Each structure stands twice: as structure tokens, then as C-alpha cells.
Amino acid sequence: MSDDKSKISSLNVLTAGFIRQNPTFSQVLGLCPTLATSTNAENALGMGLATAGVLVLSNIFISMIRKLIPDVIRIPAYISVIASFVTIVNLLMHGYTYQLWTNLGLYIPLIVVNCIIMGRAEAFASKNGILKSFLDGLGMGLGFTGAILLLGITRELFSVGTIFGLRIWPKTYGMFVMMLPPGAFLVIGFYMAFFKHVTNVRKNKKVKG
Amino acid sequence: MDAAKLFALLLAAMFVNNFLLSRFLGLCPFFGVSKSMDTAVGMSMGVVFVMLVAGIATWFLNLLLIMWHIEFLQTLAFILVIAALVQLIEIFIKKVNPSLYSALGIYLPLITTNCAILGLALINVQNNFTLMETIFNSVGSAVGYSMALILFSSLRVKLDIEELPAAFEGMPAAFITAFILSMSFMAFTGMIKV
């Protein structure tokens, strides 16, 4: 990081995943865990952090070995790297956060086939240096965690009236459907419509101004 | 294992635990290829095929893993074997039946990295299914997946010609449609206890 230009660009790399290229709302990748594990805020945060951890580690490692992997077998090589890190995270969660591990269940091993991780490995880590890949993984991971946490908080609030177990309004006001699978589709549909509306309004302003 | 129990397992996998609408597995193609009927049907055929083959293959693979006491490598072994297997099948079909290949061809690699396949393999193993139960569960899941995908694509074809509020066009409307479809599948909950 010697000159100003590269500093700005690495900051850009970090923040790209937050809003502009948010994996969930703008790229619509990795939907399965997003919808399945966002039943409450705690599960959502656990899933988000687990995915972010795997994403950062696999990005760093793939960037490190990117010149050693022959081009034809790069996809199986990436899958092996990602699957190894997922196995590590799975065993760690089994050991240290057992309750969360049982809640998330099947969806922890399924981080392997999360398109976000494979997508970043192919689109970014295989072409860039270690530091930038780390920043990209961190940014995308945090963007994913933010999105899934937003869904988790909304669904927990509307179904049982709490956020992280803190009571906001009485339980009788809750709609149980939010906890069930259909609720996930409804909440993400409305969030997407909201983000699309904001983008549309901004575009119209630009055209007029 | 009696026939009635196997049949119950088949129906449960198709309706009650529908892969798309209640387990949220394999959603990327659900929204990606459901824009027209043809692609949805092609994708469904591919999924039925790969799910059955992968289900059986991973059942035998799991026996090996247990024999060598390396169960913790399940995820890694399953995904690599599924990927390799799909590649082999693709080459085989290309040689033997070119017309089938042109119908399924482009969907096969897509299906490999679909979480529904790995999810099915892990569910089969976690429930300690026998080979027969594995086959029935795989077929049930695959048919349920195809049914939901084809239903959804026909809904989306209709949705395309309707006029919607600007904010809801495209993806948001698709999600709201999935919400309604998923609600209707919730009616099956509790029908079959497995």
C-alpha cells in the first residue's frame, strides 16, 4: 500500500459487499441458508458469522495457492479447499456452541455449496493478492451477515415479539406464520421490493436533476 | 421394511418436507430457471436423475466411510464424489444418447453445486436409512422438487404479463408468489408422521 490510489481501491474492495454488491439483496446468491436459518436473530447471526468465517479463510487460502492450481481442475480444487474449511468450522461449532450447532443442523455442512463462497473464489480470489482477497471476503461476509441478521430480526420480532430474546411487544401480537417457511419468502420479498424502490427513486432523481 | 411405510416416506418427501418450499434447498435454480416452462421441465428431469444416482452412490460411500472410521470427512467426500459422478454421467450420456444430452446437458453441471443434492445425501445418512428407504426418499424428494418448480414456473409465466407496481417487478414479485405457494404446501404439514 504505497500510493493513495491502491489505498482507495482496497477500501472499495472492503465496502463493495456492504450495499453496492450485497450478496443477498443485489446479487441474490446463497438464498438457501438465508431463508432457512433466519427464523430468529440468534440463529441468523450464527449462520452469518460461520459463512463469513469460511469465506474469509477460503479466500485467503485460494489466493495463496492461485498460481499452483492448473486452470482445468480449478473448480474441484476450490471445492476441496472450501469443504475442508467447512469441516473445520462444523467441528468447532460442535465443540464450542453445541446449542447453535443443533439449531442450524444440516445447514452448516451445506455452507460448502453456498454460491457466494464459490462465486468469490472464482471471481475474486483467483485473480487478486492475499490482502485484497482477505478484504473482499471480509466485506462480502459482513454484507451477508448483515442481510441474514436483518431477516432474522424481522422474523423474530413479528413472530414472537422479541429481538435476541428481549421482549419488544407481547407475544399475543405475533404472527406465527413468520416463523414458518412461508414467512421467509414474504419478508425477503418485501425487503427486496423496498431496496428496489429506493434504487428507482434515486435513479429518477438523477434523471430529473 | 413394509411397503406401506415406504409409500408414506415417499409422500412425506414429496409434500410435507418439500425440498423447495419447506426445507429451502436448491433455491437458486428455483428463481433462476423458472422463467419459462421448457427450462423448468429440463431442469426437473435433470434433478430427478441426479438425485437418484447421487442418493444411491452416497449411501454406498457412507458404508466405506464408516468402515474406515472417517465419518468427519462426510461433507468433503460427498461433494467430490457427486461432482465427479455427474461429470462421468455427462460424458457417458454424450456418447450414448446425444438427443438426451442436448435436453439435459446444460443443466447437469448446474445441478452439481445445487445444495439440494448434497442436502439429500446428508439427510439420508443422518436418518440412517436403509438402501430401499434411500431410494424411495430420493425419488420422493426429486418428484416433489420438480412439481414445485414446474408449478412455480407456470405461475411466473402468468405473472410476466400482469402489470405490477414498479418496486415489485421481477424478483420481489417472485418471492411473494413463492410465499403463497409455500402457504398452500403448509396444508400438508402433519398429514404424515415419519
**What confidence tier does A135 reach under pLDDT thresholds 50, 70, 90?**
very high
Strand-pairing partners, residue A166, are A163
Q: Which residues of A touch B111 (CB under 8 A)?
A: none
Determine, for residues B75 and A83 on separate chains, whether the beta-carbon distance falls below 8 Å: yes
Is B4 domain-assigned?
A: no
Percent of chain B's residues with pLDDT above 70: 93
| Full domain range(s) for residue B142 | 18-186
B1 confidence band (pLDDT: 50, 70, 90): low
Report residue A166: phi and psi, to 5°.
-85, 130
Domain that holds residue A68: 4-208
CA distance B170 to A52: 28
Q: Within a domain: residue B13? A: no
pTM across the whole model:
0.85
Of residues B87 and A1, more confidence is placed in: B87
DSSP, residue by residue, A144-204: HHHHHHHHHHHHHHHHHSEETTEESS-GGG--GGGTSHHHHHHHHHHHHHHHHHHHHHHHH
pLDDT digits (tens, 9 = 90+) for B19-30: 888 888 888 777
| Contact at CB, B76 and A177, closer than 8 angstroms | no
Q: CA Rg, chain B, in Å? A: 18
| Counted domains in chain B | 1
A113 CB neighbours in chain B (<8 A) are 79, 113-115, 118
Spell out which residues of chain B touch residue A192, defining contact as CB-CB under 8 Å: 171-172, 175
Q: Indicate the number of domains in chain A.
A: 1
- Is residue A136 over pLDDT 50? yes
**ipTM computed for the complex:** 0.83
| CA-to-CA separations, A178 to A28, A38, A195, in angstroms, rounded | 21, 10, 20
What is the reported pLDDT for A94? 92
Mean pLDDT of B171-186: 89
- Residues present in chain A in total: 209
Contacts of A28 in chain B (CB under 8 A): 31, 171
> Mutual orientation of helices A74-96 and B74-96 as an angle, nearest 10°?
150
The answer as to whether B89 is a domain residue is yes
How close, in Å, is residue A28 to chain B by CA atoms? Answer: 8
Whether residue A182 and residue B182 make contact (CB cut-off 8 A), yes or no, is: yes
Per-residue pLDDT of B35-83, as tens digits, reads 778 778 877 888 888 889 889 999 999 999 999 988 888 888 888 888 8
Q: Is residue B191 part of a domain?
A: no
